[in-house]
Amino acid sequence: MKKITLILAGMALFVNTTKAQDKSFQKGNISVDLGVGVAIYGTKLYSETTSGNITYKDDTTDRAGAVIFPLTFEYAVSNWLGVGARFAYSNYFEEKDSISGEKSRVRGIDAGVLFNFHFVKTKRFDLPIGFFVGYSNFNIQFNDPTNQVGKDDGFNYGFMLTPRIYFGDHIGIFFNAGYLAYTYPNIQFSNNTDPNMNDNNDWKFKIKGSGANFGAGLVVKF
């Protein structure tokens, strides 16, 4: 009886080990995702200027859209947790100015830490739920005769559901749906004649944005 118990225990251990090795995500894996997506944000713009003893404040809500090119690196620290880095470039949609006929150029660059939780996975399918947070840089070029620009360093965070489908042991595709949020607390403006336009009337300007993101791309696993 003791021999049978030992044999059964050994077989169970072998089966469990085989199943773990057959999973699409396991401890020690390194994966790289490169994709493209579209985001739609609701935005809040706050402007404040001071003239004499009077302070003028303006709160505006609007919408913005962007094409996003994300790149992520992830290391599996366990069979269910991946830790890594996320980088992204955003190119925002802009309309032509009604007076100059020119389009402003608006872009964002993100860099942050990524945490993925892999609770659903099979041999060819992986469904991580991710959270990331980090730094974000904002830049707007108005393309006017004075070459006015606005810049700021802020932060961003987001949540992502990123199903991955593998065609073999290393190559696959992914889709993602998530929520992104940005804050740029103190945008600084300048042009050809004034390196600090914010000094004029103590001008303060900040932007907050948040919304949905959808995309797809290629994943490589090592």
21 confidence band (pLDDT: 50, 70, 90): low
- pTM for the model stands at 0.83
How many angstroms separate the CA atoms of 65 and 90, rounded?
A: 10
How many angstroms separate the CA atoms of 61 and 95, rounded?
A: 17
110-141 pLDDT per residue, tens: 999 999 999 999 999 999 999 999 999 999 99
pLDDT at residue 205 greater than cutoff 60: yes
How many angstroms separate the CA atoms of 152 and 52, rounded?
A: 27
100 confidence band (pLDDT: 50, 70, 90): low
- Please indicate whether residue 146 or residue 152 has the higher confidence score (pLDDT): 152
33-42 pLDDT per residue, tens: 999 999 999 9
| In the chain, domain spans | 2-221
CB atoms within 10 A of CB 89: 14
Residue position matching structure tokens 């021999």: 3
79-98 pLDDT per residue, tens: 999 999 999 999 999 877 66
How many angstroms separate the CA atoms of 21 and 26, rounded?
A: 7
Residue position matching structure tokens 């490169």: 34
Q: Does domain 2-221 have CATH number 1.10.1040.10?
A: no
How many angstroms separate the CA atoms of 110 and 90, rounded?
A: 8
- Dihedral of CA atoms 214, 215, 220, 222 in degrees, nearest 10, equals -10
If you average pLDDT over residues 21-38, what whole number do you get? 90
How many angstroms separate the CA atoms of 164 and 29, rounded?
A: 14
Report DSSP letters for 10-57, one per residue.
Answer: HHHHHHHHHHHHHSSS-TT-EEEEEEEEEEEEEEEEEEEEEETTEEEE
